[in-house]
C-alpha cells in the first residue's frame, strides 16, 4: 500500500470517530431530565427531599433547596418579588403600610413604650335616662300667598261676626234677663220717631197709628234698637182694649200701645187700618189691637189671631202692652211695659 493510501485511510478513520463522538454528544443533549420525585402525603412543607416548585416557577427551573426558604416567609401568590411578608405573631397595633408605600419600603416600627392609639369611642347623643323623642313629623307643604290671604280673610270675618253678635246681645241684655216693665223705666212723653216732636191724641187720626221709642235714652245707637220700637193706635169709635186701653179726655176715644216686635221671630209689624190688624211682613202673623165693646177681642189686645205666632203656646202668642196716660191737653205719656218684649204679654 502506498503512503498516500495510508493517509487517506487514516483521515477516513479519524472522520468516523469524530462523527461517532458528535452523535453521542447530541444524544446526551436530547435525553430528557429525570422528573422530580413527588413528596409523600403528610410530608411537612419544605422538608421534602425534592421540594415542590413554587407557583409561577418556569418549567424546568430548579426548585429551591429544602430549608432554604421557610414556609412562613414565602411571599403570597402574586406578590411581587422582594416584598416582605409580616411575621406571624406581630403584636396587634403594629402600623400597616399606608396605601401607595413603594414596594420593599420598611414599615415604620412603633417607638418603644408607645401605646398604640385607640379608636375614638362615639358618644350617643341621648345619654342614659334621657327621653327619646319619636320620629319627626312630616314637613307640611308650603302654602302660597293666596292660601294664606284667604285663610286670614276668613278668620277676620269670623272675628267680626263674633263682635257683632256680642254687641247685639249686649244691647238686648235687659230684655233677655227680664221684661222692660221690670227694669227701671220712668214715665216719658212719647215722641214721634221721625220728627222727634211730642205726640198728642189730635196728631193721630181715628183708626190711625204712629211709632215711638220706649224707653228712650237720647242715644241714637240705643234708641234705634228693634226691641225699643212701639206702636200707639187710635181705635175706631166703640172699640176698647179692656183694662189696657186709655181714654182720651178730649174725644172720648180709646188709645192702646203695643210692642212692635213680633213674638215669632222678632220682625217689626205694621198696623193695617183697612183690616184693623197689625200684620208682620216676615211670616204673616196677625195681631188685633182690641175690639168692639163687649166682644172677646176687646179684652185681649195684642193677641195673635193668624200666622205662626198664633200657633205658639201662651204666653208667647200675645204682644206686650205699653201702658199709657193722657193729659188734659192730649199729651200722651208711656208709663211702663206689661210682659217681656220678644217673648209675650205674660212672660
What per-residue confidence (pLDDT) applies to 9?
76
* Mean of pLDDT values over 93-108: 59
Written as nine digits, the cell of 167 is: 254687641
Mean pLDDT of the chain: 77
In whole angstroms, give the CA distance from residue 255 to residue 297. 15
What per-residue confidence (pLDDT) applies to 68?
46
Position 293 in a domain: yes
Greater model confidence, 205 or 76? 205
CB 298 within 8 A of CB 239: yes
Span 225-270, pLDDT tens digits: 999 999 999 999 999 999 999 999 999 999 999 999 999 999 999 9
Number of CB atoms found within 10 A of residue 287's CB:
27
Q: What kind and span of H or E run contains 105?
A: none
In whole angstroms, give the CA distance from residue 28 to residue 244. 163
Span 120-166, pLDDT tens digits: 555 555 555 555 555 666 666 666 777 777 778 888 889 988 887 77
Q: Is the pLDDT of residue 41 over 70?
A: no
Secondary structure percentages of the chain, helix, strand, coil, to 5: 25, 15, 60
Q: Indicate the number of domains in the chain.
A: 1
Greater model confidence, 13 or 157? 157
Which of 261, 277, 284, 241 lies closest to 340, judged by CA?
Answer: 261
* Mean of pLDDT values over 79-83: 61
CB 340 within 8 A of CB 178: yes
Q: Is the pLDDT of residue 74 over 50?
A: yes
Which of 174, 173, 222, 223 lies closest to 194, judged by CA?
Answer: 223
Position 343 in a domain: no
β 304-306/254-259 pair status: unpaired
Position 240 in a domain: yes
* Mean of pLDDT values over 160-188: 61
DSSP state of 336: E
Least confidently predicted of 115-119, 282-286, 296-300: 115-119
Position 202 in a domain: yes
The CATH number for 212's domain is 2.102.10.10
SS (H, E, C) 201-252: HHHCCCCCEEEEECCCCCCHHHHCCHHHEEEEEECCCCEECHHHCEECCCCC
Least confidently predicted of 51-60, 220-229, 249-258, 314-323: 51-60
* Mean of pLDDT values over 168-175: 55
Angle at 321 between CA 318 and CA 325, to 5 degrees: 160
Q: Is the pLDDT of residue 301 over 50?
A: yes
Position 76 in a domain: no
Q: Is the pLDDT of residue 103 over 80?
A: no
In whole angstroms, give the CA distance from residue 86 to residue 73. 8
Q: Is the pLDDT of residue 342 over 90?
A: yes
Burial class (CB in 10 A: 0-12, 13-18, 19+), 288: buried
Written as nine digits, the cell of 295 is: 166682644
* Mean of pLDDT values over 29-48: 60
CB 285 within 8 A of CB 307: yes
What per-residue confidence (pLDDT) applies to 200?
95
Per the structure, the complete domain to which residue 219 belongs is given by 181-338
Written as nine digits, the cell of 43 is: 410530608
Number of CB atoms found within 10 A of residue 302's CB:
25
Position 34 in a domain: no
Position 301 in a domain: yes
Position 71 in a domain: no
Number of CB atoms found within 10 A of residue 52's CB:
14
Amino acid at each position: 500500500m502506498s503512503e498516500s493510501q495510508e493517509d487517506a485511510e487514516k483521515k477516513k478513520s479519524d472522520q468516523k470517530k469524530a462523527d461517532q463522538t458528535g452523535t453521542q454528544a447530541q444524544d446526551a443533549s436530547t435525553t430528557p431530565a429525570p422528573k422530580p420525585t413527588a413528596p409523600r402525603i403528610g410530608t411537612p412543607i419544605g422538608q421534602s427531599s425534592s421540594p415542590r416548585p413554587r407557583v409561577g416557577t418556569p418549567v424546568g427551573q430548579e426548585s429551591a433547596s429544602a430549608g432554604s426558604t421557610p414556609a412562613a416567609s414565602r411571599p403570597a401568590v402574586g406578590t411581587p418579588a422582594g416584598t416582605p411578608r409580616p411575621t406571624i405573631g406581630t403584636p396587634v397595633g403594629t402600623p400597616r403600610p399606608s396605601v401607595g408605600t413603594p414596594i420593599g419600603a420598611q414599615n415604620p416600627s412603633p417607638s418603644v413604650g408607645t401605646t398604640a392609639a385607640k379608636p375614638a369611642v362615639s358618644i350617643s347623643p341621648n345619654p342614659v335616662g334621657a327621653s327619646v323623642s319619636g320620629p319627626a313629623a312630616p314637613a307640611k307643604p308650603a302654602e302660597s300667598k293666596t292660601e294664606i290671604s284667604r285663610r286670614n280673610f276668613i278668620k277676620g270675618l269670623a272675628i267680626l261676626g263674633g263682635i257683632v253678635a256680642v254687641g247685639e246681645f249686649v244691647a238686648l241684655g235687659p230684655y233677655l234677663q227680664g221684661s222692660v216693665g221690670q227694669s227701671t223705666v220712668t214715665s216719658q212723653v212719647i215722641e214721634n220717631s221721625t220728627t222727634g216732636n211730642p205726640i198728642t191724641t189730635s196728631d193721630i187720626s181715628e183708626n190711625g197709628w204712629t211709632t215711638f221709642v220706649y224707653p228712650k235714652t237720647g242715644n241714637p245707637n240705643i234708641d234705634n234698637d228693634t226691641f225699643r220700637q212701639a206702636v200707639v193706635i187710635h181705635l175706631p169709635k166703640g172699640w176698647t182694649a179692656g183694662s189696657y186701653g186709655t181714654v182720651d179726655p178730649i174725644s172720648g176715644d180709646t188709645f192702646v200701645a203695643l210692642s212692635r216686635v213680633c213674638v215669632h221671630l222678632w220682625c217689626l209689624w205694621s198696623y193695617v187700618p183697612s183690616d184693623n190688624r197689625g200684620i208682620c211682613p216676615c211670616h204673616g202673623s196677625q195681631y188685633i189691637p182690641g175690639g168692639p165693646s163687649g166682644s172677646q177681642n176687646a179684652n185681649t189686645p195684642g193677641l195673635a189671631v193668624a200666622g205662626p205666632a198664633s200657633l205658639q203656646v201662651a204666653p208667647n202668642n200675645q204682644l206686650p202692652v205699653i201702658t199709657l196716660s193722657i193729659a188734659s191737653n192730649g199729651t200722651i205719656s208711656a208709663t211702663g211695659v206689661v210682659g217681656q218684649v220678644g217673648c209675650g204679654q205674660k212672660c
